Every structure is written in C-alpha cells, then in structure tokens.
Amino acid sequence: MSLLLSIVFLPAAAGIASYFIRSNRLRRLLWATAAALHFGLSITACQQGTSVNLDHWIGMDSLSAVFLVLTSLLFLGATVYGIGYVAREPVAPRPDTEDGSLVKNEPESIFTGGILLLLSSMSLAILSRHLALQWVAIEGTTLASAPLIYYHQNRRSLEAAWKYLILCSVGIAMALLGIFFIRMTMQDGPRDLTLASLLAQAPTLNHSWLRTAFIFMLVGYGTKMGLAPLHTWLPDAHSEAPAPISALLSGALLNCAFLGILRVQQVCAAAGMAKFGGDLLILFGLVSMGLAGVFILRQADYKRMLAYSSVEHMGILALGVGLGGIGLFGSFLHVINHSIVKAMLFFTAGNIFSRFCTKDTMKVRGACSVLPISGALWIAGFLAITGSPPFGTFVSEFTVLRATLDQGRWIVAALYMLFLLLVFVGMSAIVLRMALGRKTEDGGQRTEGAAQATAPSSVVCHPSSGAEPLTTIIPPLVFAVLALILGVYLPGSLANTLHNAAQLLGGAGK
C-alpha cells in the first residue's frame, strides 16, 4: 500500500522541492535520484503482483503494471537525455532559430519541478482505481506539462502551450461530465465510482446512461489522447516542446489518457456493452490513422511528422481495443512498442535539431554523415515506427491485423493496411532524404527558393559540433535495442501480463 503511495508522492515531493533548490547540480541530482527510485519502486510493485487498497482507490492490476513500468522506463530515458539537454541549453537570452527575436528559456527549476510533477500525476492516473480520482490526475498532467511545452519561451511554443491548455482542459471537462453520468448508471448498491464497485454492479448498470457516459468520456479523454478529429493541439504541442518533453508527451502521457478510455471500456465490457464502445473506438481509430497519413505526406517539419505519427499510432491502439479479442493483446503490446520507439525518435530528432538548427525537412541533408549514430538511429526508428519486420511494432501491428481478419472485417482490414502504407510512404520520403546525401553549406537554401523571409539559420543559431554527447545517444540507443528485442523475443512474464490485461477487458490472449 505504502509502496504504491510512495510511487505517486515521491516524485511530487521531489518536484516541489526542486522549485526551491538554487543549485543546478543538486537539483539535477535530485531529478536523477527520483527517476531511478521511481523505476525501482515500480519494478518492485509489479513483482509484488496485483494489489488493491486504500478502500480500492489506488491499486495495481496487470493493465496498470504495464503502463506504470513503461512510463517509468521512459521517464528514466528522458531524465538521462534531459539532464544533458538542460545543461547544454544557454542561460542567456539568444535569438530564436526561426523568427530571430530574443528568447530566454524558463528557469531550470520550473522545468525540473514540472517534469517531476508530471511523473507524479501520470503515476496517479495509472494507479488510481477511482474514476474521478483518475480524472483529477489526468487533468493534473495537463497542468504540469503546459509549462514544459513553453520551456523555450518563444512565440510558437507560447501558442502551442495556450492551445494545449485550452483544448485539453475543455476536452477533459467533457470527460468529467461523462463521469457524472456514469454515476447515474448505478441504480442501487454503493454509489461510489471505484472500479471495484462499478465492475461488481456491472450487470445492473443502466445502459442508456452508460452509453451517454461512454461517448462523453471518449470525446474527453480522446482529446487528450489525440484521436482525430480531436487531435488539433497535438502536432503543435509535440513539435514545439523540447525533445525530452516531446518524448514523454508522446510516449507516456498519451498512454495515460488511453488508460482513462480503457477503464470505461472495461466497465462497458463488464456490462455487456463491449460492442457499442468497440465500434466507436474502431471508427475513431480509423479516422485518426487516415488523417495522420494524409498529414504525414509532404509534411514540412520533421517533429510535426513524428507528432502525426503519434496520432496514427493512437488510432492503432483504439482500433485494437475496439476490435477486442486478440486485438486487445495486440493493442497493449503496441502501447509498449510505440512508446519506446517514439521516445527514441523524438530524442534523435532533438539531436538532429541541435546540429542543423532547423525543423524543416527540406533543410536537413546528410544526417548520417554529420551525425553517424543519430543518423543511423533515425533510419532505424523510421523502420521501427512504420512496423517493419525486425522490430516489435511489426508483431503488434500484425496482431491487430489478425484481429480484423479473424472477425471478418475486411473493410477495416483493407483501410488499416492502406493507411499503414500511406504513412510508410510519407515517412520514408522525408526520413531517407534527411538521413542520406551530404550536408549542404547553404542549409538547402536552393530548394527553399522563396524562403528569404526567414533569416538563414546559421545566423541565429550556433550548431553544436564535435562528437555527439553520450547522454543524447545512450537513451535512444537503449530504446532501439529494446524495440529490436521485443520484435524477436517476447518474455514469457510480459506476455502473461499482457494476456491478463487483455482478459480484464474481456479479450483473449495471443
């Protein structure tokens, strides 16, 4: 019990403390310690197995075990990357890379405090077994991460943070209405919103209220999860945030909102309404995949490309859960694969940005020759995120495909394959052009004939030079290896946990 509580409160305490610590070294040490401790505690909690306590408010089942360890792992990666990142960021005001106006970063204490509070609220969102408490935690993640998006304090990140805060808050308010409606579904028995009592009363829940509640919660948490057409804030926020934050937002935070939807779907499945929720999820999933595919094609900003890829993968997750059966297993496996690979890609994108000083895909050439390791990782990450065979994403995307075929949903299967192909084509054109070739001295101005309006990037940016720092390479490298391992070998205990998680929502294992 106290173990689960400490998983939530330890990072929160560290986060609040780091607002007051003046020394940079001490604060970074605290950050690293908190991340390592959180990882250790999460692993321990998983090994202790499922437990529910505090009157069923906080607890751990197979589903939260998967999400918790994954979040903690990503945070560890983001910590290693992020400490190096903030250490290299200039303290003094400097010209912005795009519009040239002077910008100054947020104080480092606000950044560290925010990221630790984000970890705390994400852990609470994952561990809470009370729907309203989970809502509080998920809204808390929005609040903790908005200042992180605004870290660079330039106009674009300001705009992104504003949109993020407004849209996600409004969306999540819808989810709160949905939670009120869930409360109305309960006819007799204890009217508290813990999962335990909802699941116990599932057969007697009022179906028409539950339907309304599901729609509200899907729209609310779907906004936060980035399901199209509610995703409009996502490309802005994920492309303007600093690299370690983008990795966390895409890899860990979207999962938390997904878990919010999963919990309602779990209640729906127990009430015998899995198909109602499932069909809606399939619809949202396919729309997300298709829309992301269209926007990835000819995307001019490689971080936005990654953000749209997140929309696509959230679509795959929703689709897998919507299908049910082995689709659930595939979807949960895909949660792991996507998070690891996407974090790795955002780290690598950060490395490319720090050398080329532009997010314009047309101005980056020859990443492989300039940054041998990051360039290779960029290509590997592209192969992994598009579901190419040696990587884990292939297994999970294929499992979702199998679910569509098993159920004879030929149209869904065809659209699924079509959208995956669309994304593959769109990303390959961009990524390969960026990675291969030679770096041109004019930064690709030839191809950008009409771009005189923006100042040449070399004027306002001082590109990093020399060997790549270790902290920028180790996290993506480790994640790449993990993604590769998951592609060829799925550990038995992990498969078991995923199987159990799928059974929570009424699905079958592999």
Partner 1 sequence: MNIISVLLILSCLLLLGSSRLHVAIRVVAAQGLLLGILPIIRSMGDFTLGIWVLALTTIVAKGVLLPWLMSVCLRHTGIRREIEPFIGFGSSLLYGTALLALAVWITARLHLTPAQVPAVPLASSFFAVFVGLFLMVTRRKAITQSLAYLVMENGVYGVGVSMSLDFPFVVELGILLDVFVGVFLMGNLLFHLDREFEHVDADKLTELSDVSDVAQPPSAGIDHPRGRGCHMVEEDA
The least distance separating partner 1 from the CB of residue 310, rounded to whole angstroms, comes to 15
Residue ranges of alpha helices (H) inside 186-253 are 195-200, 207-225, 233-240, 243-248
Which residues between 461 and 500 bind partner 1 (CB under 8 A)?
A: none
Return the ∠ at Cα 162 (arms to 160 and 163), rounded to 5°. 65
Site for partner 1 in 79-118 (CB under 8 A): 99, 101-102
Q: Kindly tell me which of 170 and 425 has the beta carbon lying closer to partner 1.
A: 170
Choices 148-156, 334-342, 440-448, 502-510 (CB under 8 A): range interacting with partner 1: 148-156
Q: What is the dihedral of CA 131, 175, 156, 351, to 10 degrees?
A: 40
Question: Which pair of tokens denotes residue 343?
Answer: 């974090």
With tokens 């991460």, the residue in question is 145
DSSP string for 457-473: HHHH-----SSPPHHHH
Give me the least distance between CB of 150 and partner 1, in Å please: 7
Considering the complex, state which of residue 146 and residue 368 has its C-beta at the smaller distance from partner 1: 146
Check residue 183 for interaction with partner 1 (CB under 8 A). yes
Give me the least distance between CB of 172 and partner 1, in Å please: 9
Given a contact cutoff of 8 angstroms between Cβ atoms, the answer to whether 262 and 200 are in contact is: no
**In 193-342, where do the E strands start and end?**
none
Secondary structure class of 53 (helix, strand, coil): strand
The Cα-based distances of 483 to 312, 316, 376, 471 in angstroms read 18, 17, 15, 19
506 token code pair: 């009424």
Please state, in angstroms and rounded to a whole number, the distance separating the CA atoms of residues 387 and 424.
Answer: 9
In the list 37, 132, 199, 283, the residue contacting partner 1 (rule: CB under 8 A) is 132
- Binding mask 287-326 toward partner 1 (x if CB under 8 A, else -) reads --------x---xx---x----------------------
Query: Angle, to 10 degrees, between the axis of helix 326-356 and the axis of helix 372-385?
Result: 150
| Interacting residue with partner 1 among 41, 193, 317, 335 (CB under 8 A) | 193
Comparing CA positions, the residue from 138, 106, 129, 127 lying closest to residue 10 is: 127
169 binds partner 1 (CB under 8 A): yes
| 161 is a contact residue toward partner 1 (CB under 8 A) | yes
CA distance 257 to 135: 9
If binding is defined by CB under 8 A, does position 143 make contact with partner 1? yes
Q: Are 438 and 382 in contact (CB under 8 A)?
A: no
Single out the segment in contact with partner 1 by CB under 8 A; choices: 69-77, 172-180, 364-372, 380-388.
172-180
Is residue 317 within 8 Å of residue 258, measured between CB atoms?
A: yes
Per rule CB under 8 A, is residue 391 in the interface with partner 1? no
Q: CA 427, CA 319: separation in Å to the nearest integer? A: 21
Contacts of 135 (CB under 8 A, 6+ apart): 172, 175, 176, 179, 260
Helix (H, G, I), strand (E, B) or coil at 94: strand
Q: Does 240 bind partner 1 (CB under 8 A)?
A: yes
For partner 1, which is the closer residue by CB, 243 or 370?
243
Interface with partner 1 by CB under 8 A: which range of 21-29, 81-89, 236-244, 320-328?
Answer: 236-244
Q: Does 192 bind partner 1 (CB under 8 A)?
A: yes
Q: In this structure, what token pair is assigned to residue 90?
A: 């200039």
Determine contact, residues 456/363, Cβ cutoff 8 Å. Answer: no
Contact status: 176 vs partner 1 (CB under 8 A): yes
Residue in 69, 115, 165, 362 binding partner 1, rule: CB under 8 A: 165
Which is nearer to partner 1, 371 or 427 (by Cβ)? 427
CB of 311 to partner 1, least distance (A): 12
Least distance (Å) from partner 1 to the CB of residue 414? 26
Name the residue nearer to partner 1 (CB basis): 134 or 393. Answer: 134
Stretch that binds partner 1, among 143-151, 333-341, 428-436, 476-484 (CB under 8 A): 143-151
CB nearer to partner 1: pick between 136 and 495: 136
Minimal distance, residue 292 CB to partner 1, in Å: 11
Interface with partner 1: number of residues (CB under 8 A): 45
Work out how close the CB of 235 gets to partner 1 at its nearest, in angstroms, rounded to a whole number: 7
Told to check if 130 binds partner 1 by CB under 8 A, we report yes
Distance (Å, rounded) from C-alpha 231 to C-alpha 242? 19
CA distances for 18 relative to 22, 44, 143, 197, 308, angstroms: 8, 26, 17, 39, 33
Nearest distance, CB of residue 223 and partner 1, angstroms: 13
Stretch touching partner 1 by CB under 8 A, among 27-35, 81-89, 157-165, 270-278: 157-165
Report if residue 185 touches partner 1, rule: CB under 8 A: no
| Other beta carbons within 10 Å of 480 | 22
Indicate whether 363 belongs to the interface with partner 1 (CB under 8 A): no
- Single residue of 9, 19, 39, 162 touching partner 1 by CB under 8 A: 162
Alpha-carbon distance of 52 to 128, in angstroms, equals: 10
Is residue 153 a contact partner of residue 104, using CB atoms and an 8 Å limit? Answer: yes
Token representation of residue 86:
């903030």
Pick the piece of the chain touching partner 1 (CB under 8 A) from 34-42, 59-67, 231-239, 485-493.
231-239
Interface residues toward partner 1, by CB under 8 A: 99, 101-102, 130, 132-133, 135-136, 139-140, 142-143, 146-147, 150, 153-156, 158-163, 165-166, 169-170, 173, 176-177, 180, 183-184, 192-193, 235-236, 239-240, 295, 299-300, 304
